Amino acid sequence: MTIRPWLTPVARSREAEILVEWTAAGKSIDTRGIADHIDHLASRSRRIHEHDCLNLNPATNVMNPRAEALMAAGLGSRPSLGHAGEKYETGLEAIEEIEVLAAGLAARVFNCRYPEVRTLSGAMANLYAFMATCQPGDSIIVPPPSIGGHVTHSRGGAAGLYGLDVHEAPINPDHYTVDVAALADLAAEVQPQLITIGASLNLFPHRVAELREVADSVGARLLFDAAHTCGMIAGGAWPNPLDEGADLMTMSTYKSLGGPPGGLVLTNDEELGARIDAIAHPGLTANSDAGRTAALAVSLLDWVDHGADYARVMVDSAVVLARSVAAGGLPVHATRLGSTASHQFAIEADGYGGGHALALNLRHANLLACGIGLPTGDGLRIGTPELVRWGMGPEHMVELGGLIVEACGHDPTVVAPRVTEFRSEFRELHFINKDPGPAATVPI
Ligand SMILES: *Cc1c(COP(=O)(O)O)cnc(C)c1O
């Protein structure tokens, strides 16, 4: 392999360092040794995330082991093209049932008519939404990075790759969302086919009903990107954007939803549903990984049984954690509405060299978090989905807040063993169905 010349010097040297040991010139490939090493790396990663460190990153979660096992149950390499009852291949009687059940559960959890589960990522879910509503060259209005707008909505992401003319919405920093009145003016000017809302940090519910009116005034469609807020919506802690007027809702399924890596596209609109269906297949997927679909179905059952409690504890914990680190002197990003009404909040990180620099520093304290844009500058994003799955609640957030404050202030390596010790009390997953399996009856 050639070290890619377009990478930064840091990335080039890391790639070279990893490759050199196993592919040194003249050495034959040690297939057994590399396979063993990859097994070792998988365990090491599990150890980092599930033993040594605490994940404060809201863009990740730990899966129900039963769902995780289904991803390695011999399903994923069985392509299953077309609709149940008329599959292109044969032998898919069991997989057809899995697909229909997963879609039925998505419809039930998100109270929607037409769910599309053959979506390999949240990024692709957004591409499906763009393709279903726009032609290349059309204008769209999207949230900018200063309020957590995601790259997939930008020129460099799926929107730009599909040829859309991307316009950034004016923002309302007081509510960490778009400025609806100014957005209406922009919409009148650029005549978008699509307006998107929903970001990678969401502190307070967005004004979906007002955006619906703006969209209607210019004949645009409205897409709600719930990659992060899907857990809030599934658990009923936040209003459902589809009820408030969004035409489409997309999401990642591995963040607050706690399911497998993948995406979902949801709509109540028959015409859009049919378009999304055709984009999923024959459009952009052939094999869409039935193992992932089965894992999604099991993860959605957890939401049926425990979703409301899980979402409530995520919010309550985030509120207490934000208060605790603020009391310890950290600059928690506050809007006129407060710091958060969701499972996430942010620390203003400019005084620490930026969000990414602070995240790298916190890694030395065994605390995992990541950077995010704020109207005030650079931020560090903190969330509670994984903490709560491991059994933490508001009652543990003062102690955790103390550890975060200390890790930001001193030599973070001193805090590392105490973080590992703190988390060692939380070994059991919560808000999931354990064997022998779900008890509730689910009309779907
Ligand atoms: C994470 C994220 C995505 C992309 O999700 P993937 O499943 O990782 O592709 C899309 N939109 C937003 C707002 C996100 O935060």
What is the arithmetic mean of pLDDT over 158-177?
97
Q: Do the Cβ atoms of 145 and 155 come closer than 8 Å?
A: no
Indicate whether residue 152 lines ligand 1 (CB < 6 A).
yes
Calculate the alpha carbon distances from 206 to 47, 147, 246, 341 in Å: 37, 11, 11, 11
Name the DSSP class of 335. B
Sorting pLDDT into bands at 50, 70 and 90, what band is 18?
A: confident
Rounded distance, CA 444 to CA 153, Å?
Answer: 32
| Confidence (pLDDT) at 28 | 74
Strands (DSSP E) along 269-399, which ranges? 344-348, 367-368, 370-374, 377-383
| Cα distance between residue 402 and residue 405, in whole Å | 5
**Mean pLDDT value across residues 75-80:** 97
Residues near 394 by Cβ (< 8 Å), separated by ≥ 6? 313, 316, 317, 319, 320
The DSSP line for 22-77 is: HH-TTPPP-HHHHHHHHHHHHHHHHHIIIII-EE--TT-----HHHHHHTTSS-TT
For residue 91, what pLDDT is reported?
Answer: 98
Q: Which residue has the higher pLDDT, 94 or 25?
A: 94
| Overall average pLDDT of the 38-47 stretch | 97
Q: CATH assignment of 52-63+306-423?
A: 3.90.1150.10
Q: How far apart are CA 282 and CA 303, in angstroms?
A: 30
pLDDT tens per residue, range 243-292? 999 999 999 999 999 999 999 999 999 999 999 999 999 999 999 999 99
Residue 60 CB less than 6 A away from ligand 1: no
Closest CA to 433 of 298, 331, 325: 298
Whole-angstrom distance, CA of residue 146 vs CA of residue 171: 8
The DSSP-derived string for 136-198 is TT-EEEE--GGGT--GGGSTTSHHHHTT-EEEEPPEETTTTEE-HHHHHHHHHHH--SEEEE-
Sequence ranges of the domains in the chain:
52-63+306-423, 66-300
Lowest-pLDDT choice from 23-32, 189-198, 239-248, 392-401? 23-32
The dihedrals phi and psi of 377, each to the nearest 5 degrees, come to 145, -135
Reply yes or no on whether the pLDDT at 418 is more than 70: yes
pLDDT at residue 442 above 70? no
Lowest mean pLDDT among 28-37, 171-180, 404-413, 415-424: 28-37
Mean pLDDT, the chain, integer: 95
Domain 66-300 fold:
Aspartate Aminotransferase; domain 2 (3.40.640)
Pocket-testing residue among 117, 201, 252, 289, ligand 1, by greatest number of atoms within 8 A of Cβ: 252
Name, in order, each residue with C-beta under 8 angstroms of 367's C-beta and a sequence gap of 6 or more: 53, 54, 56, 403, 404, 407, 412, 415, 419
Q: Looking at this protein, which amino acid is placed at residue 415?
A: V
pLDDT on residue 19: 85
Residue 363's pLDDT band (cuts 50, 70, 90): very high
pLDDT band for position 147 (50/70/90)?
very high
Give the per-residue pLDDT at 2: 85
Percentage with pLDDT > 70 across the chain: 97
* Ligand 1 atom with minimal separation from the 261 CA: 7
On whether the CB atoms of residues 365 and 412 are closer than 8 A, the answer is yes
Is the minimum distance from the CB of 200 to ligand 1 under 6 angstroms? yes
d(CA 51, CA 32): 28
Name the H helices within 235-289. Answer: 241-244, 270-278
Indicate if the pLDDT at residue 439 is higher than 70. no
Kindly list the distances between the CA atom of residue 61 and the CA atoms of 49, 253, 438, in Å, as whole numbers in the listed order: 10, 10, 21
The tokens for 330 are: 């950290």
DSSP, collapsed to helix, strand or coil, labels residue 12 as: helix
Centre of ligand 1 to C-alpha 422, Å, is 30
Cα of 195 vs centre of ligand 1, distance in Å, is 17
Structure tokens at 418: 């105490």
Nearest residue CA, atom 6 of ligand 1? 122
Assess whether the C-beta atom of 227 lies below 6 angstroms from ligand 1.
Answer: yes
Distance 211 CA to ligand 1 centre (A): 21
Q: pLDDT tier at 438 (50, 70, 90 boundaries)? A: very low
Q: What is the mean pLDDT of residues 39-47?
A: 97
- Residue partners of 274: CB distance under 8 A and separation at least 6: none
Query: Which of 61, 118, 142, 152 gets mutated to test ligand 1 (max ligand atoms within 8 A of its CB)?
Result: 152
Hey, do 52-63+306-423 and 66-300 end up sharing a CATH topology, with the first three levels equal? no
Which three-class secondary structure state does DSSP give residue 223?
A: strand
CA–CA dist 159, 182 (Å, integer): 22
In the predicted structure, residue 25 carries a pLDDT above the cut 80: no
DSSP secondary structure code for residue 78 in this structure: S
pLDDT at 27 over 80: no
Residue 24 has pLDDT above 70, yes or no: no
pLDDT in tens, 292-339: 999 999 999 999 999 999 999 999 999 999 999 999 999 999 999 999
Pocket residue to mutate for ligand 1, from 197, 200, 296, most atoms within 8 A of Cβ: 200
What is the number of the ligand 1 atom nearest to the C-alpha of 228? 15
Q: How far is CA 254 from CA 84, 258, 264, in A?
A: 26, 5, 11
Predicted TM-score of the model (pTM): 0.96
Give the rounded percent of residues in the chain with a pLDDT score beyond 90: 92
Please, what is the Cα angle at 87 between 86 and 89, to 5 degrees? Answer: 140
Query: Ligand 1: distance of its center to the CA of 227 in Å?
Result: 5
